[in-house]
Amino acid sequence: CAAANGHGVIVEELLAAGASPIFPSRDKARVTAAHVAAQNGRSKILQRLVAIAPKVMYRRTSDEDGARTPLHKAAETDRLKLVKWMLTSDPSDDHRLVSVISEDDEYSYSERITDMLAEHRKTHSDQKFVLKAKQMRANLGF
């Protein structure tokens, strides 16, 4: 509730008392505070939770819509700036966050979210190719 409503002080108190950013709710949906923060556009709270536990970006729910990450929740509710921040702040070495949303998922998103995801995928593919080429050249002694 604190994450959904943007109550940063309460979120901090809960974290100080030992609450885990990665621990899911006990209900059927199994959402984390990061899911709720992303869905409600609470960027400061989401950024704080990711800073403490980067893996929370990849945590999936088990709600009726299928397994959803905080990125899905932000995209579903058209949180453009938050989606952009999440994509550019992907804590994984291989930028795996770009692959959690399939093209099938995108049918329910706004055009601006869909366009941003497509552009990010293209940029990511280009970067991946350059890295692979550098690794191949290094392995060959160039």
Task: For residue range 41-90, list pLDDT tens digits in order.
Answer: 999 999 999 999 998 998 888 766 677 899 999 999 999 999 999 988 88
6: left (phi over 0), alpha (psi -120 to 50) or beta: left
Residue with tokens 């392995």: 139
The gap from C-alpha 87 to its chain's centroid, in whole angstroms, comes to 7
Instruction: Give the pLDDT confidence of 8-46 residue by residue, as tens digits.
Output: 999 999 999 999 998 888 888 889 999 999 999 999 999
Nearest to 39 by CA among 82, 84, 2, 8: 82
Q: What does the pLDDT read at residue 28?
A: 84
Nearest to 45 by CA among 74, 76, 75: 74
Q: What is the pTM of this model?
A: 0.80
